[in-house]
Amino acid sequence: MKVSAENTVLSCEHASHRIPAAYRHLFRAYPDLLISHRGWDPGALECATRLAKQLHMSLIKGTCNRLVVDLNRSLHHRQVFSEFTRPLPKTVRQAIIDSIYHPYREQLRQTIARRIAEHGFVLHLSLHSFSPVMKGSPRRADIGLLYDPRRKFEKAIAARLQLHLTALNPGLKIRRNYPYRGAADGATTQCRRD
């Protein structure tokens, strides 16, 4: 399998800290939280946009703060809604799913399906950023490459990316499946199943 721009799809689920007008009242007392890492992944969209532009790849990007709905969680995940939106009536939560979550996931699913139909397979890269300090402890990496270790192709791609990025900047600490595991609940794991 040869990886190219044509069979690679980039996604950035936590690209935005925007709150749709209908839900702004829920967050009026928390402006700092909205622009913190709890609300979005600072720097991820810039990185994804630059990569997509330089390599002529498709980019699917989220347009809503993850405190409204987390586009990187499956609908059954307990954190798909935050403490601000979880208490909303079921009809309001369903409206959020129908107007924000499903359109994003469907665009991603269709783009991936199209690339598979055209090229036989797809490489889906989901770009995120992580807090350099978590619960008072500094993270031990600058870049984390997450993948499903049971999938040989993903494991090989992660190893090649690690070597390539290290060659470009030997000072970077690049780890695989850190600070999270690549097989955990998320958009990429759902796309693998689809």
Interval 87-130: pLDDT, tens? 999 999 999 999 999 999 999 999 999 999 999 999 999 999 99
**CA dist list (Å): 9 to 30, 55, 129, 152:** 34, 11, 18, 19
Instruction: Give one DSSP letter per residue of 154-175, joined into a string.
Output: HHHHHHHHHHHHHHH-TTS-EE
- Residue 189 pLDDT exceeds 80: no
The yes-or-no verdict on residue 135 having pLDDT over 80 is yes
Q: How far apart are CA 43 and CA 158, in angstroms?
A: 21
| pLDDT tens figures, 29-80 | 999 999 999 999 999 999 999 999 999 999 999 999 999 999 999 999 999 9
Which residues touch 159 (CB under 8 Å, ≥6 apart)? 176
Share of the chain above pLDDT 90, in %: 86
Average of pLDDT values for 156-181?
A: 94
The position carrying tokens 């924000």 is 100
For residue 103, give both structure tokens.
């359109």
End-to-end C-alpha distance for the chain, whole angstroms: 20
User: CA 143, 105, 16: angle at the middle one, nearest 5?
Assistant: 55
Residue 188 has pLDDT above 80, yes or no: no
Residue 139 has pLDDT above 80, yes or no: yes
Q: What share of the chain is helix, strand, coil (3-state, %, to 5)?
A: 40, 10, 45
With b meaning 16 or more CB within 10 Å and e meaning fewer, what string describes 5-38? Answer: eebbbbbbbbbbbebeeebeebbeeeeebbeebe
